[in-house]
Amino acid sequence: MNVEEIIKTNQRMPLPKRTLIHIALVANKIDEEIATVLKPFDISIQQFNVLRILRGQNGKPANLSTINERMVTKMSNTTRLVDKLILKGFVNRTVCINNRRKVEIVITEGGLNMLNKIDRILFDAEKRILKNFEETELHELNDLLNKF
């Protein structure tokens, strides 16, 4: 990936600015590829993330703030996201009995089946996206990203 070529500029950028643009370009590319993988399943990246969080609960219900806390990208509308997942039959939502301010969200059998199907395909996509990296390079990259 050549930054200058992609944004079609021929002026030299300062290294910090170039680095930040580079990260944005890479992140966009990754997002696009993953969205493409999910598309046949008619599910968005965010909806998929919510389902994975719920699966990680191992049957224990999660309330909205728990989901929010664990999402990669912070959301202010997890309510509406869950609405969509309910429509698709992937989750159920009930009001918490002990504290009626809270809601309890659980993944359904259908949601779990969907996740299992996607898991394998996504794993392949992840390998494909990182095909040019040796394992040591992935460690190097993670170490550098830790500095943020």
Partner DNA sequence: ATACAATAATTGTATATACAAATGTAATTC
Partner DNA sequence: GAATTACATTTGTATATACAATTATTGTAT
Q: Which of 57, 42, 46 is nearest to 117 (CA)?
A: 42
Smallest distance from the beta carbon of 48 to DNA, in angstroms?
8
Alpha-carbon distances, residue 40 vs 48, 118, 119 (angstroms): 13, 10, 14
Distance, CA of 146 to CA of 148 (rounded, Å) = 5
Count CB-CB contacts under 10 A for residue 20: 11
Q: Using CB under 7 A, pick the residue from 37, 53, 81, 114 that binds DNA.
A: 81
**Which one of DNA, a second copy, none interacts with residue 79, CB within 5 to 8 A by kind?**
DNA
Interface with DNA includes 39 (CB under 7 A)? yes
Angle in degrees, 0-180, between the axes of helices 109-129 and 15-38, rounded to the nearest 10: 140
Q: Using CB under 8 A, pick the residue from 86, 106, 112, 129 that binds a second copy.
A: 129
Interface with a second copy includes 121 (CB under 8 A)? no
Q: Using CB under 8 A, pick the residue from 17, 39, 60, 117 that binds a second copy.
A: 17
* Beta carbon nearer to a second copy, 97 or 145: 145
Count CB-CB contacts under 10 A for residue 81: 20
* Beta carbon nearer to DNA, 32 or 119: 32
Distance, CA of 92 to CA of 83 (rounded, Å) = 9
Tokens (6 digits) for 142: 């993670």
Interface with DNA includes 65 (CB under 7 A)? yes
Contacts to a second copy by CB under 8 A: 1-2, 7-9, 11, 14-31, 34, 56, 69-74, 123, 126-127, 129-130, 132-133, 135, 137-142, 144-148
